Chains A and B, each alone.
Chain A
């Protein structure tokens, strides 16, 4: 898989996004930008609006106020389907594999979806499965997989779409330590090989601190801090909002 260095560095951006559900503010003023070739961590306490923000960035949720920008174009209100074709892929907490299809076909579907022909799509599926160490599982039914591998197939399916931005919603949840290590390697690899920006929602601090170039902190729907892992660790607002419970 050769990586193509884009001349202009693309970005995926949320600008001053507000979302309310039935009068409850889920997000009130969140802004973040994700560059290509960058790993950005998105953290915050439960209910801070992390998944909602990812939903906004991927077109699942239309913001009440604010906008979403993809490499300088305003893409607010585009459907998830359109954004996927423009290179914004995501995974879900619930993975949502096509259970009755084989692992290979799950990944192939991603490649077909972005418009590759049958032969090229199968080649790419092979490539991605090899890369993620799933080649031996290729013919297994997706709903027969153990949990950790199921997650990896979810990532493989997103990667088969060759995204420019990949948003991972809690990919380490429920994984054991060895699987977490593998996941870290995979995410580093994604950036290196695909020149792809990765947004990572994660509660596992070891994963976040070890991987991210920058970390963005949400609290009660607001962006409260952003910076290098060491800055975030030292930030007193963040400690109060979030790390206080987990990190002392």
Chain B
């Protein structure tokens, strides 16, 4: 029983981390049809900011990292994506890859290829022990933050004026411009929000692993991308649910697979996901109306 519960807690907290990453990707995709693979590098930059400021007060470390990631997200949009606004999605995708590699190699140049380690918010690595169940504080925090952010984002999108305009832009960007929605601010705000999400993941990720490499964001974003596809491209709640599903699947396979098969866990994860998409290519939740009329 304890074994099962332990796995459920692990699954939810890993799923929450994926869900947060998927939210950041889904947010930008919904509005710009851009799959921003450089999102992972935002997370990586935040982690290196923690490394760089290590030794300062932890609140300052956290704030500097958050600020850097948010600024990087906004600059990214301004410098790399705004000039390509009218380009087709493939061009945008390639641009995001280029940006990702550029940032990885920039960090490589400055900090070197060897993994760095940094201790941040060590208290969060401690456990609550409940009935023989060991629950790391970090997992509780991760899950709580994910729920708060998801609810916050949904409320923001449904209730605020900017949220309404962002959703209008996500539905039909051209039409939104025609009714006067300011495209530049809507997109800048979307990137700002994706920066906030990426910054928070940086912090959580560093607390959890303590190890950084220039390529640390790559696998996280790949998984999150798959999660948004599973959830249904263009739906925020779908992205979060997709993240959760992938996290749960990963932990479940980790528990079920035999020791010899465990190194291939991710192959199983992706095989299941490919199977899922064959059956339901539109994802769990459909993002927008599939109807098109001329």
Report if A113-B165 is in contact (Cβ < 8 Å); known contacts: A100-B288, A100-B289, A161-B179. yes
Cβ of B177: which chain A residues have Cβ within 8 Å of it?
A: 80-81
Given contacts A95-B293, A99-B171, A100-B171, contact A109 B164 (CB under 8 A): yes
| Binary B-proximity of A119-155 (CB < 8 A = 1, otherwise 0) | 0010000000000000000000001000000000000
Asked if B175 and A112 sit within 8 Å, CB to CB, the answer is: no
Output the residue of A93, A98, A101, A105 with the most chain B CB within 10 A.
A98
- Enumerate chain B residues within 8 angstroms of A38, measured Cβ to Cβ: none
For chain A, the count of residues having a C-beta within 8 Å of the partner chain is 30
**Contact yes or no, B293 A98, CB < 8 A:** no
Contacts between chains A and B (CB distance < 8 A), count: 75
* A84-B180 CB under 8 A given contacts A93-B294, A121-B161, A143-B289: yes
Contact of B171 among A89, A101, A117 (CB under 8 A): A101
The residue of chain A having its C-beta at the shortest distance from the C-beta of B234 within the complex is A100
- Would you call A112 and B165 a contact (CB within 8 A)? yes
Given A99-B288, A109-B168, A118:B161 Cβ within 8 A: yes
Report yes or no: A113 in contact with B291, Cβ–Cβ below 8 A: no
- B181 is an interface residue with CB less than 8 A from chain A: yes
Judge whether A244 is part of the interface by a CB distance below 8 angstroms: no
Find the residue from A90, A95, A143 having the highest chain B CB count within 10 A: A143
A118 in contact with B288 given A81-B177, A109-B181 (CB within 8 Å): no
* 15 pairs from A and B in contact (CB 8 Å cutoff): A80-B177, A81-B180, A85-B180, A94-B293, A96-B172, A100-B167, A101-B164, A101-B168, A101-B171, A105-B167, A109-B179, A113-B176, A114-B180, A117-B161, A161-B179
Q: Top 3 A-B pairs ranked by shortest CB distance?
A: A113-B180, A99-B289, A98-B171
